Amino acid sequence: MTEVKLYGYATSPYVRKTGCFLYYKGIDFTHVPVDPTNPDKVIGFTGKTQVPVLEIDGEWRHESSAHAHWLDEMFPSKPLCPPEHRAKIEEIDAWISNNFLLSIFRYPIDGPDTLQFRYRAWRLAALLSAHTPLPEEVRHHWPEALREAPFIKVMARQMNLEESIPDMQMRIGIELAAHIGEGPYLGRLSAPTMLDFAVFPQVVWGYMFGLEEQITAAAHPTIKAWLKRVASHLPPNPTLVADSMMVQSLEGGLK
Ligand SMILES: N[C@@H](CCC(=O)N[C@@H](CS)C(=O)NCC(=O)O)C(=O)O
């Protein structure tokens, strides 16, 4: 039987994305948690500190979007990128990578040092600790650690920091709704693809794991209807965060 492993921490949107690819395809896999403060211990074999790492029968690869294509080669049923839609999928995937996913890291770059930011960062450290326990001292300084993370500083160079954070969030919400359009799935496609699974877990996980009170994006009727459709293809917790840390159900958030 094919052995599939996904190395990474669930606080990474890219790890959650590859995780949803696997869940959608119904592939049996092992999630191997990685401690972001000591990644070498588990993924030292890659020569890098980057997650996610997907391993299939001893061969491993980086890059979440590349994982979708590799999984389609290895497990063709339920394609994440059907060849007939490849051009459209690549175009929207570039928007997801260069706008939607990057925007998740904006707040630690130049957001104000509010109590809300600190609570969020501390909760992220708690969610990590459920898999790879972090020392109390490290957890306490997680807000500062996020602001100083070298890979987040690299991401900052790819963003337009002239645009205010509220304007960026508003623009990305509008662009997401436009990419869904009449649906039923992103790109107006008739079945879910890698695009839906790249976005979906990021929109819902904060509600499920104590980072936000509401699924904020679900305030938009087009996005809410799309979230319900995508959720129907995934397990109740498709995020890779430990079940024990769940505080609100996805089903409840989408009522
Ligand atoms: N383009 C990559 C981005 C992966 C990425 O940036 N992962 C972050 C975690 S969110 C990471 O591993 N950062 C630590 C590092 O690069 O050392 C992908 O899609 O897989």
Domains and CATH numbers, the chain: 4-74 (3.40.30.10), 84-253 (1.20.1050)
Q: Which of 14, 63, 99, 127 to mutate to test the pocket of ligand 1 (most atoms within 8 A of CB)?
A: 14
CA distances from 214 to 46, 133, 160 (A): 38, 27, 27
Q: Which one-letter amino acid corresponds to residue 214?
A: Q
pLDDT tens digits, 208-240: 999 999 999 999 999 999 999 999 999 999 999
Ligand 1 mean position to 49 CA, how many Å?
8
Confidence bin at 194 (pLDDT 50/70/90): very high
Confidence bin at 77 (pLDDT 50/70/90): very high
Buried-exposed string 192-227: b where 16+ CB fall within 10 A, e elsewhere: bbbbbbbbbbbbbbbbbbbbbeebebbebeebbebb
- Ligand 1: which residue has its CA nearest to atom 13? 50
16 closest CA partner among 52, 57, 56 = 52
Global pTM value = 0.98
Ligand 1 mean position to 230 CA, how many Å?
24
Alpha-carbon span 141 to 166, nearest angstrom: 26
Q: Which of 6, 11, 12 to mutate to test the pocket of ligand 1 (most atoms within 8 A of CB)?
A: 12
Map tokens 């645009």 to a residue.
Answer: 163
| Number of the ligand 1 atom closest to the C-alpha atom of 13 | 10
Three-state DSSP class for residue 53: strand
Percent of the chain with pLDDT over 70: 100
**Has residue 35 got a pLDDT over 90?**
yes
- The DSSP element (H or E) to which 82 belongs, if any, is none
- Residue 240, number of CB atoms within 10 A of its CB: 24
**Has residue 172 got a pLDDT over 90?**
yes
Q: What is the mean pLDDT of the chain?
A: 97
Confidence bin at 1 (pLDDT 50/70/90): confident
pLDDT tens digits, 9-28: 999 999 999 999 999 999 99
Give the 3-state secondary structure of 233-253.
CCCCCCCCCCHHHCCCCHHHH
Map tokens 């109390």 to a residue.
Answer: 136
138 closest CA partner among 37, 51, 241, 242 = 37
Ligand 1 mean position to 81 CA, how many Å?
22
pLDDT tens digits, 95-131: 999 999 999 999 999 999 999 999 999 999 999 999 9
Q: Which one-letter amino acid corresponds to residue 248?
A: Q
CA distances from 18 to 70, 164, 172, 204 (A): 11, 30, 21, 15
What value, to the nearest 5°, has the Cα angle with vertex 218 and ends 243 and 33?
25
